Amino acid sequence: MLKERVFESKVLWVLFLISLIWTISMFIAPFTIPPGTVSDLEGSANRLDFQELWDTLPPYPKAVYYLGDAECHQISSRTFYLNGNQMPVCTRDVSIFFFITLGLFAGMLVKRKYYISEGLLGVFPRRFRDYVNRTIGATWFAILFVFLFVLPVGLDGGIQLLTGYESTNLIRFLTGIPAGFIAGFLIAILVKSVKATREYVMEGEPTQETPVDSD
């Protein structure tokens, strides 16, 4: 049964492999170039700031650092160094991407449900699920659960943006853990929910693996 859940979605496997390759590449790329090649950067998020530098690199690290530059600010003081080089993305993003990969894999192990909220609630013991369904319901539980997971990174990043507070790399990494994991986990549950919906449309009723939400 567990093996069937892991391999039931080709789409989910593709997403997991892409995330895994990117995660590994973040750690490998700094070791493929001489120490000190990438350092003391001060860029902006969601824009390319250092194209001239990336164009001097070999193809593999060039591609990895280009992708990192397009997404991340790559500020030196907020980034881990490996082999004397900055990683392609900042500390918080390293944490988020790493745990997105783990969240995707964890989501592979979960029984697919017809509703995303039920998929999330389904990882808990039956007694707890029954209690939630009797009280606030699966949908509100899912909303609150996800909110709590992204709250740490929202608070740390938001306060830093709006005030003179400067976070540390350790705090950036730690707050990225729950946000990254729940993002990957929700993506996996969503993919499985879409698969369940397609089965419903094609067969006319949910399968045993895809019970309808009781909300």
Q: Is residue 209 part of a domain?
A: no
Query: What CA–CA distance (Å, rounded) separates 57 from 205?
Result: 54
What's the pLDDT at 27?
98
Give the count of domains, the chain: 1
Average pLDDT across the chain, whole number: 89
**Whole-angstrom distance, CA of residue 67 vs CA of residue 25:** 11
Rounded to two decimals, the pTM is: 0.86
Q: What is the pLDDT of residue 5?
A: 72
Q: Is residue 26 part of a domain?
A: yes
213 domain-assigned:
no
pLDDT > 70: percent of the chain: 90
Domain assignment present for 128? yes
pLDDT(206) > 80: no
Q: Are 178 and 95 in contact (CB under 8 A)?
A: no
**Residues with Cβ < 8 Å from 175, sequence gap 6 or more?**
92, 95, 152, 153, 155, 156, 157, 167
Lowest mean pLDDT among 7-11, 66-70, 172-176: 7-11
pLDDT at 211 over 50: no
- pLDDT band with cut points at 50, 70 and 90 for residue 199: low
Domain-located, residue 145: yes
3-class secondary structure, 13: helix
CB 212 within 8 A of CB 115: yes
pLDDT for position 208: 43
The amino acid sitting at 67 is: L
Cβ neighbour number for residue 136 with a 10 Å cutoff: 14
pLDDT band for position 213 (50/70/90)? Answer: very low
- Residue 118's pLDDT is 87
Domain that holds residue 166: 2-203
| pLDDT band at residue 209 using 50, 70 and 90 as cut-offs | very low
The two tokens of residue 51 are 């194209």
What is d(CA 48, CA 213) in angstroms, rounded to the nearest whole number? 44
Report if residue 117 sits inside a domain: yes
In a domain, 159, yes or no: yes
3-state helix, strand, coil in the chain (%, to 5): 65, 0, 30
Q: What DSSP designation does 74 have?
A: -
Q: Is residue 175 part of a domain?
A: yes
> Bigger pLDDT: 64 or 207?
64
